[in-house]
Amino acid sequence: MTQTAPDILRIAVAQLNPTVGDVAGNLAKAREARADAARQGADLVLYTELFLAGYPPEDLVLKPSFLRACEKAAQDFAKDTADGGPGVIIGTPLKRKSGTHNSIVFADGGKIIAERYKLDLPNYGEFDEKRVFQAGPELQGPVNFRGVRIGVPICEDIWGDIAVCETLAESGAEILLVPNGSPYYRAKIDVRHQVVIRQVIETGLPMIYANQLGGQDELIFDGASFAIGADKTLAFQMSQFEEAVDVTTWKRKGDSWVCSEGPMSKIPEREEADYRACMLGLRDYVNKNGFKNVVLGLSGGIDSAICAALAVDALGEERLRTVMMPYRYTSKDSLKDAEDCARALGCRYDIVPISEPVEGFKHALTQLFEGTQEGITEENLQSRARGTILMAISNKFGSMVVTTGNKSEMSVGYATLYGDMNGGFNPIKDLYKMQVYALSRWRNSHVPPGALGPSGEVIPKNIIDKAPSAELRENQTDQDSLPPYPVLDDILECLVENEMSVDDIVARGHDRATVTRVEHLLYIAEYKRRQAAPGVKITRKNFGRDRRYPITNRFRDRS
C-alpha cells in the first residue's frame, strides 16, 4: 500500500539536560519528554546528540559495557513507539562492524526504522571525537517517516566541509533535523545561526537545530534550539539555559515545508547570558556529582562575592556556607563588606581567624628561614592556611569548596597553589576581572530566571568600587604587582583568545615592556593552571580544553 504523504508534520524538539553515564536516567528523561510531546500532539520527537549516553561521554565510549547499556536503552525506547504515539530520533553510541559510531536511532511503530552515523568528527578546541569514534562508513540517504523524507545530519556534519546536507538534499530529503551537542561561548548563537543559514542556502531545505542543555564539567550546553526556514528566516527560537519540550507545526507548501507554529523566545544579552552560564555550570556540577552543599572563603573582595551570589542563585542560600578568615592585614572594610554580602544573600557566615596557624607555620620555619627577608613566601602562608581551613570544613561536612580565581589571575599566576586555588569547581575561571565587575553590576540590578537568590543589591557597592587587593601585606593592591586590569585584560585577550604577536599588541597602544612581561607571566603560570579546579567555559578559548600549552616552554615572541 502506498503511504499518503501528510501535509502537516508536528515535530517536538526535546531540549533537555542529560547526565553523562546515567543511561537509565537519560532514558527515563527521554520517555517523560516523549509523553509530554504526545500530549501536545507531536508526530515526531527530536532529541540531541548522544542523548542516551550524555555528551561528551569521552572515554566511556571505550568501555564495552557502557556501549551495551546505551544500545539496550535505544532498543527499549524504540519498543515504546509501538503505542501509536510519536516517533523518535535519539542520539546514542553504537558499535558496528565498521567501528564505534556517534549515531542516531530513528524509531517508529515499535521498531528501529533507521540508524545514521556521524561522518564529520570534530577534533579541535573542546572536541576530541576522533580519539574514541570512527566516522560513518558512508553517507546514507534520508529516512522515510510516515511519508516524509527526513535527513538527519549530526552536529559537525553541518559545520565542516563535508557536503553531508547537500548530498541529503540531492537524495530527496524534504527537511533536515540536526541533533547537536554545541557548547556555549559568548555570542555562539549567532555563529550557529550563520552555519545553519549557509546550509539552507546550499540545500534549499529548512533545518531544525536541536541543542543539548546543561553543564558537563567545564562545558555548558545552553540549548537555544531553533530552525531556519527555506526562505532563510528564523522559523522558531527556543529558550536559552532552560529545559523545554516544544512542539513545532510544519505545513507542506508546494515542494517545501514551512513552520506555521513554534516558540519565539528572547535570547539573553551578553551579561545575562554569561551569568546564567556560570550559574548553570555550578548548579549541574554540584548536583550531578552529588554534593549536598558548598563552602567558600568570603574575603570582602569582588571575586568571592560574585561566586557567593552565583552559589546562592544556583543552589539556594541554605546550601552555601561562607567563611571569613581574617589576618592582621584584613581591613575593617573587608570584614564589613563580607558580612554585608552574606547578609544580603541570606547565607551562613562564619569567621575563623588565621593568626594562630600562620604564626605557627612561621615559628616552625624560623630556623630554616633564618637570615632571609620576609616576602611572598610568608604572604602565601596566609593563603595556604585559608585553603587548609576550607578543605577541613569540606572534609568534615562534605561540602564542596568553591574556588574563586578569575581568568586574569589564572592567566598570570596571581594565585597560590594549595591556597586560594583549593577547591572542586570555579564558576568564574573563564571570566576576566573586568567581566567579573560587569556581571556583578548586572546581578545587582537583575535576578536571572531560575535563580534562587534574592533581588536587590547582593554584592555591596563598596566591594565593586574599592581597589582590589589580596590583603597579604600592609596597604597592598593588585596593581602593585599587575598592570591595571583594563590594560591587563586587553593584553591577555590578545594573547590567549586571539594568539596575537607582541608587535600587534603594541600596535594597539600598549607598552612593549608591559606586553612582554604579561606574556612571560602567562607562560610560566601554566604549571599552576594544570593543577587548578575545573570551571565554566565562557570565552572562545578557555584554559584546559581549548588552550593546551606545554608547561616546559622557552618560547617568547621577540620578533
Grid coordinates representing 225? 534550539
Which residue in the list 49, 174, 272, 519 is annotated as catalytic? Answer: 49
Tell whether residue 248 is among the known ligand binding residues.
Answer: no
Which residue in the list 29, 71, 115, 155 is annotated as catalytic? Answer: 155
b/e burial code for range 293-314 (CB count within 10 A of at least 16 → b): bbbbbbbbbbbbbbbbbbbbbb
Tell whether residue 298 is among the known ligand binding residues.
Answer: yes
Which residue in the list 118, 288, 429, 537 is annotated as catalytic? Answer: 118
Tell whether residue 304 is among the known ligand binding residues.
Answer: yes
Q: How far apart are CA 559 and CA 425, in angstroms?
A: 38
Nearest Cα residue to 97 out of 111, 113, 112, 117:
117
Count Cβ atoms below 10 Å from residue 371 Cβ, excluding itself.
4
Active site annotation includes 118:
yes
Contact 300, 338 (CB under 8 A): yes
Can you state the angle between helices 270-288 and 302-315, rounded to 10 degrees? 70
- The DSSP-derived string for 144-174 is EETTEEEE---GGGGTSSS-HHHHHHHTT-S
Strand partners, 259: 250
Tell whether residue 420 is among the known ligand binding residues.
Answer: no
- The DSSP-derived string for 323-356 is EE---TT--HHHHHHHHHHHHHHT-EEEE---HH
Q: How far apart are CA 171 and CA 165, in angstroms?
A: 10
Residues 380, 470, 534, 188, CA torsion sign: negative
Tell whether residue 349 is among the known ligand binding residues.
Answer: no
Grid coordinates representing 2? 502506498
Tell whether residue 301 is among the known ligand binding residues.
Answer: yes
Q: How far apart are CA 391 and CA 395, in angstroms?
A: 6
Work out the burial of residue 347: count CB atoms within 10 Å of its CB; fewer than 13 is exposed, 13-18 middle, 19 or more buried. Answer: buried
Tell whether residue 297 is among the known ligand binding residues.
Answer: yes
DSSP H/E element including 439: helix 433-445
Tell whether residue 303 is among the known ligand binding residues.
Answer: yes
Active site annotation includes 49:
yes
Tell whether residue 360 is among the known ligand binding residues.
Answer: no
| CA 448 to centroid of chain Cα atoms | 17
Q: Is the peptide bond before 56 cis (omega within 30 degrees of 0)?
A: yes
- The DSSP-derived string for 70-94 is HHHHHHHHHHHGGGSS-EEEEEEEE
Residues 295, 339, 273, 491, CA torsion sign: negative
Tell whether residue 559 is among the known ligand binding residues.
Answer: no
Active site annotation includes 79:
no
Catalytic residues: 49, 118, 155
Instruction: Point out the annotated binding site for L-glutamine.
Output: 124, 182, 188
Instruction: Point out the annotated binding site.
Output: 124, 182, 188, 297-304, 380, 404, 409, 528
Instruction: Point out the annotated binding site for deamido-NAD(+).
Output: 380, 409, 528
Instruction: Point out the annotated binding site for ATP.
Output: 297-304, 404
